Amino acid sequence: MPSATTLKLRPFRAEDAEACLALFRDCVHRVNSRDYTQAQIDAWAPRTIDLEAWRCRFDDRLAYVAVEGDRIVGFTDMTRAGHLDRLFVSADHQGRGIARRLVERLLSDAADHSIDEITTEASITARPFFERMGFSVVREQTVECHGVQLTNYRMRRSMQADAKDLATESARKVIRVASARRKS
């Protein structure tokens, strides 16, 4: 796992679009290929994606990049309504907690913006990660991408559960403090 000093999260900037697009393509072709056919991969992450259109998809979103040194190794974005659109980590940086940190940042933003629920469409590959992050499957679905059918999962995570967990933890702290005061 990268240390806090080597990995930094920062807001997405327009000049990050090209690096994020390259990371997306590489990740889909190298990581998601274990769960999808070559035709599905080629439709999902084709060689020709309009860079300006890709960049514009980040506009007015909560969007972050994970940077190690001067290299972007992951990115994510979420609409202000709570739809987590993209979450990708470099194929060479998988399993190091980068996706977790990016999602935790979006969870914090969701709480700050009073977003009640986060939704996403998770790939077959990403489904287990999102389940570990507290998302549940709403339904399996088949989507069309450039004329090719792909399976993914509509998933959701209620922010209400987080609020209840925080309230419970706060109550436990109050009880511990009160108990400690009585003992002293």
pLDDT tens readout for residues 116-139: 999 999 999 999 999 999 999 999
Q: What is the DSSP string of 64-84?
A: EEEEETTEEEEEEEE-TTSEE
- At 46, list the tokens: 């084709």
Nearest residue to 161 (alpha-carbon basis) of 126, 124, 128, 136: 136
Sign of the alpha-carbon dihedral angle for 64, 97, 124, 39: positive
Summarised one tens digit per residue, pLDDT across range 41-60 is 999 998 888 999 999 999 99
Sign of the alpha-carbon dihedral angle for 10, 95, 41, 85: negative
Q: Which pTM value belongs to this model?
A: 0.83
With tokens 């590959």, the residue in question is: 125
- At 25, list the tokens: 């393509």
- Give the separation between CA 11 and CA 76, rounded to whole angstroms: 10
